[in-house]
Structure 1
Amino acid sequence: MILVTGATGAVGREVARLLAVEGPVRILARRPERVTVRGPEVDVVAGEYGDRASLDRALRGIDAVFVVTNSPTEPDDARVAAAAAAAGVRHLVKLSMMAVEEPDADDFITRLQRGNEQTIRDSGVPWTFVRPRTFMSNTLSWAKGIASDGVVRALYGRSPVACVDPRDVAAVAVAALTGSGHEGRAYGVSGPEAISAYEQTAQLSELLGRPLRFEELSPDRAREALLAKYPQPVAEAFLESAERQRAGAKAAVVPTVEELTGRPARPFRTWAADHAEFFGAAGRAE
């Protein structure tokens, strides 16, 4: 059986859904009521990384784990790895980020993920790292501005990024979890094209059938907005990442999705069409 963590997030939820179609899957959730993947083959258990007893219970009879961690302060990867090793788990598939393999990336979040990957390596449990580029779903943060005044506000709107559909990231993770020969491999995952926020705005305008305007934020305004939502090290990491994107560091396309799933990665237009409703009434309701 496979254990999925992070099943209330964009990638973990899709991993759980795909696995549930094929057979039994267990989901570890701090708040089980928020898990939307349900069914006779889905076992949802309450627990969290900081509660070793609940983690041990969730890992009983588990062969592989999809690992999602996001705390900038808690040693959650170490907790999962230690418990997995003790339980005899045979494979850890960790959601990481593509920046860890890029020498010029040295922001707080990238350093943290590099350390987390090393923790997984040191556990002795066979591992696979899934390293996606920026998620297309990050553009959902534009929904409120689109609904209220038809404006997308972002930093460096002309800088390209080979953003990826979270569903494609999940498909790669499931291939690693259920296939053979993936141990000790790290997979960078991108979309099929490099696209800028300005171009994404134009595509959303076409899909929604309404004019949208792009408004570029200054670095100071972007910093102010980020600091209102995140701790300073995290906010500064996002700003450093944006500078790397402006320099072209995130424009490279890699063929991992097609290589591991047998189909091409979805372009932004497809993702946006599938989620167009979130840029309408859902945004106005906030």
Structure 2
Amino acid sequence: MRHIVHLSSANVLGDPMPAMGRWHHDREELVRASGIPATILRPGAFMTNALDWLPTIRADGFVLDPIGPGRYAPIDPADIADVAAVALTEEGHQGKQYVLTGEETLTVTEQTRTLAMAIGRHLDVRPVNSPEEAVRARFPHGAPPALAAALIEGFALMRADTIGFRTDTVRRIPGRAPRTFTEWCTRNAHRFVS
């Protein structure tokens, strides 16, 4: 029988589970109920989420910060792909769940500094004035109410985490260090230059 890899973000299983975690968890349950052997990958925030900053960087040279002192360990999508490739081609991964993060826990301010160095341009960091502004920055044409509420909830949880959750999954599965945010910024600097 075919083996699949399902990408999810139900890695925050607090009590009660946040809305986005519940949504992903429900889909994991559908995958399990299908009977198809699967490996569940649960990545945290992607480094590519920094591309959401493009409009304010290009227009006014700043990044909106919805999480202040909050820290998280963004992961390069290439690292997720490497874990998926191992899970699909090597024995012993069926039925497993892997939480994936980068190794560096960073604030939005630290990420912005790293990106500024990579693109050779000064960037300011501006705290959001309201949770609704944070949602509008992500979805300028509006977000469905349930999604907007889930994003606001997620930003609040991230703001409260001043340590940053991280795992060693990339070191264990492909057997190497995860790519750094500096490496991602260097590879993608051309995307931020207008």
Q: Common fold, TM-score beyond 0.5?
A: yes
Structure 1 window deviating more from structure 2 (147-156 vs 124-133): it is 147-156
Structure 1 window deviating more from structure 2 (115-124 vs 216-225): it is 216-225
Structure 2 alignment gaps of length 5 or more: none
Which residue does the alignment assign to 1:210?
121
Identity of aligned residues (%): 35
- Taking structure 1 as the reference length, what is the TM-score of the superposition? 0.63
Structure 1 alignment gaps of length 5 or more: 1-88, 282-286
Matched-pair contact (CA < 8 Å) for 2:68–2:127: yes
CA pair 167-226 structure 1, distance change in 2 beyond 3 A: closer
Amino acid at match of 1:260: I
Structure 1 counterpart of 2:146, from 205, 208, 233? 233
1:187 aligns with 2:105: no
CA pair 109-154 structure 1, distance change in 2 beyond 3 A: same
CA pair 255-169 structure 1, distance change in 2 beyond 3 A: same
Which residue does the alignment assign to 2:81?
170
CA RMSD of aligned residues (A): 1.8
* Aligned counterparts of 1:150 and 1:186: Cα–Cα separation in 2: 40
Give the C-alpha shift of residue 175 in structure 1. 0.7
Matched-pair contact (CA < 8 Å) for 1:143–1:280: no
Give the C-alpha shift of residue 250 in structure 1. 7.8
Matched-pair contact (CA < 8 Å) for 2:62–2:123: yes
CA pair 112-249 structure 1, distance change in 2 beyond 3 A: farther
Correspondence 1:43-82 to 2 at 5 A: none
Structure 1 window deviating more from structure 2 (151-160 vs 196-205): it is 151-160
Which residue does the alignment assign to 1:118?
29
* Aligned counterparts of 1:190 and 1:127: Cα–Cα separation in 2: 20
- Taking structure 2 as the reference length, what is the TM-score of the superposition? 0.91
Which residue does the alignment assign to 2:108?
197
Which residue does the alignment assign to 1:90?
2
Greater Rg over alpha carbons, structure: 1
Instruction: Tell me the secondary structure at the aligned position of residue 172 of structure 2.
Output: helix
Structure 2 counterpart of 1:160, from 71, 85, 100? 71
> With CA pairs under 8 Å and 6+ residues apart, which has the higher RCO, 1 or 2?
2
* Aligned counterparts of 2:85 and 2:152: Cα–Cα separation in 1: 31
Give the C-alpha shift of residue 248 in structure 1. 1.0
Alpha-carbon displacement from aligned partner over 1:5-61 (angstroms, at most 9, x marks no partner): xxxxxxxxxxxxxxxxxxxxxxxxxxxxxxxxxxxxxxxxxxxxxxxxxxxxxxxxx
Amino acid at match of 1:94: H
Which residue does the alignment assign to 1:129?
40
**Equivalent pairs, count:** 192
